[in-house]
Amino acid sequence: MTALALPRAAHGTQRATHALRLTAADIGRAATLALHDELELAPKPGLVSFIDSGSHDDMDAHTFMQSLFALRHYFVQIAVLGEAHAPFEALERCGIAAEARMLAATGGINTHRGAVFTLGLLCASAGALVRDGQAPCPAALRASLRRHWGDALGARSRRVSMLPGGIAARRYGLRSASEEAALGFPVLFDIAVPALAAATRRGLDSQRARLDTLFTTMASLDDSNLAHRGGLAGLQHARHAARSYLERGGAGADEHLEAAWTLHRDFVARRLSPGGAADTLAAACWMRRVCERHA
């Protein structure tokens, strides 16, 4: 039985054993699978899936699969760095190299830059927990991130980013991805992860649970991808649409698929794409794979 198949009924001693048995390969594999979890979900307003390209003319599911293939070793490598308690500069170099491989694989198209950053940090945090002899859970992962790299992330958040998302965040007074990380990913840990757990407890299947989590995240996140593509009006439209969907019962409603497809077509017409929410969903799926199934 692999570490990723540890029974849910584990108790204290078994939890510690699991922390030691969990390997960097397990952590990295979970990240690749989580990105596939996000890609295969449909409908997702404005986002790429195996069904269509959403609001994107320059990429499709094949592009995303090329990117996943190029990144699969990166998540293992950064988990190894985390296990070594490597300084933030080493994590950053690893991420920059991974982004270069992604761009080479996709012909210069940014498919997973946000996931390289967010999931990379989470994989490093999980690796650090293995080194510290702790079983992964959301609270422990967040504490690990802050303990080992919190100061460096705070300093990084004060840099002036020239990437489209960073420019949009400054222009509209939004919380950037770097600031979100410096705060310990509050939308991920306080909103997305609990939403995925709550949807599962309500008996929703995997697709519906992920869909509910995506819309819950969209309703709260300062998604600079939306702001970049549609300005502040586009971000506000997406938030309002997500909240309305949830108020009508979300993915638990009988007509949830029809409502989600209607929003997908609306986002495509407006050229909106909640890429930040998609990255957060993937991170929540990763956390479920490495934590909740093995608690």
What residue type is 117 in one-letter code? F
Strand, helix or coil at 204?
A: coil
Q: Which residues contact 271 (CB under 8 A, 6 or more apart)?
A: 46, 55, 229, 230
Kindly tell me the burial class for residue 156, based on how many C-beta atoms sit within 10 Å of its own C-beta (0-12, 13-18, 19 or more): middle
Q: Where are the domains of the chain?
A: 3-294
pLDDT at site 21: 78
Nearest to 116 by CA among 146, 91, 95, 88: 95
pLDDT tens over the chain, length 295 residues? 233 333 333 344 444 444 447 899 999 999 999 999 999 999 999 999 999 999 999 999 999 999 999 999 999 999 999 999 999 999 999 999 999 999 999 999 999 999 999 999 999 999 999 999 999 999 999 999 999 999 999 999 999 998 999 999 999 999 999 999 999 999 999 999 999 999 999 999 999 999 999 999 999 999 999 999 999 999 999 999 999 999 999 999 989 999 999 999 999 999 999 999 999 999 999 999 998 755 4
pLDDT at site 293: 52
Are the C-beta atoms of residues 218 and 273 closer than 8 Å to each other? no
The predicted model scores a pTM of: 0.91
Strand, helix or coil at 7?
A: coil
Long-range contacts of 149-157 (CB under 8 A, 24+ apart): 149/88, 149/91, 149/121, 149/124, 150/182, 150/184, 152/87, 152/88, 152/89, 153/88, 153/121, 153/178, 153/181, 153/182, 154/182, 156/88, 156/92, 156/181, 156/182, 157/181, 157/182
